[in-house]
Structure 1
Amino acid sequence: MLRSVDSLRTELSGPLTSRMGPKAKILTAEVHGDEVRGLALCPGKVIRYVFAAQTQRLHTQALLSLTTSTSKPAA
């Protein structure tokens, strides 16, 4: 399943956009057999994804998530 980077990005952009929103950006894409693995940047998150090419399934896991501060300043 050796493909060009452009074809991988095109194939991944649909499922990633539907799951994470239109501002999701693919950072890396690596082919591992029938799977494509990599990192993506979404608003407020960095996620790891695994895309199974034959079944068109996308599995995501948040690696880094930005949150708002819940503490109040001491002064």
Structure 2
Amino acid sequence: MLKSVDALRRSIRGPLEDACGPQARMLTAEVHGSEVRGLALCPGRVVRFVMDDRLEGLQVVDLLRLTKASRKPAA
């Protein structure tokens, strides 16, 4: 599929920014046959992504999402 790390980053950057916003940063990326899998940091969340040549799209799943506190202080 891809032969260099720079080419891998360039191919993922656009779809990742479309899915998560312009502040998304790729942490890891691994090539598994025709798929590229990895982790990325987005504002307020950590996501896992999978990009497949056949699907020509990026699938994103939240692994960790920051939320606002729902508890009120006791005092």
TM-score scaled by structure 1? 0.93
Moved over 4 A (4+): none
The two structures, once aligned, show a CA RMSD in angstroms of 1.1
User: What are the ranges of 5 or more consecutive residues in structure 2 without an aligned counterpart?
Assistant: none
Hey, what's the Cα distance between the residues in 1 that align with 2:24 and 2:66? 15
Once the 2 structures are TM-superposed, how far is the Cα of residue 35 of structure 1 from its aligned partner? 0.5
Secondary structure of 1:74's aligned partner: coil
Hey, what's the Cα distance between the residues in 2 that align with 1:26 and 1:49? 10
1:24 maps to 24
Alignment coverage as a number of residue pairs: 75
User: What are the ranges of 5 or more consecutive residues in structure 1 without an aligned counterpart?
Assistant: none
* Seq. identity, %: 56
